[in-house]
Amino acid sequence: MRVAFLMAPAGVEQVELERPWQAVRGEGWEPRLVSTRPGTVQAFHHLDKGDTFPVDDVVESSTAEDFDALVLPGGLANPDFLRTDEKAVAFARHFFGLARPVAAICHGPWTLVEADVVRGRTLTSWPSLATDIRNAGGIWVDEKVQVCHAAPGTLITSRKPDDLPAFCAALVQEFRR
């Protein structure tokens, strides 16, 4: 199974990239870092710079058909940059068109709001996104993890780094399906 981790060149919360990445790799699946530009992605520990990670694939030359699932790590800046990039938004939207599972944590659902794929779905996120999700037609809940099987596809969401154990367990369970 090939799993795309979509992120901007800077601003991803490092732990929200690393823990799901380790969960995917732990299952013997192939995680791939997909970004809007080649090179590296600068991760952060909240507002402090963290490590850099090499980009495997660029959105411009990738399609959802190349992958079996999508993970949208958070951080404040990462999804804010992604939601302003038409190709990144279209890439995320396409996973729903193919009914492939998507997982998003923290501010990650901002990209899904922009992609207009939360309407009628129940999801969670960092609390400051609740109004955006409701305005986009989604149902926001304050839960560690929320799995929504509304067609097409499955959406797994979580609120914050403290919820990563529940998020990773749900992600692995749903990606296995």
Q: What is the DSSP letter of 162?
A: G
Is 106 marked active-site? Answer: yes
Say whether 21 sits in a helix, a strand or coil. helix
Residue with tokens 């749900």: 170
Q: Which residue in the list 45, 46, 94, 107 is annotated as catalytic? A: 107
Q: Which residue in the list 45, 46, 94, 106 is annotated as catalytic? A: 106
CA atoms of 174 and 136, how far apart (whole Å): 24
Query: ω into residue 38 within 30 of 0, thus cis?
Result: no
The phi-psi region of residue 28 (left if phi > 0; otherwise alpha if psi is between -120 and 50; otherwise beta) is left
Computed on alpha carbons and rounded to an integer, the radius of gyration of the chain in Å comes to 14
Q: Which are the catalytic amino acids?
A: 106-107
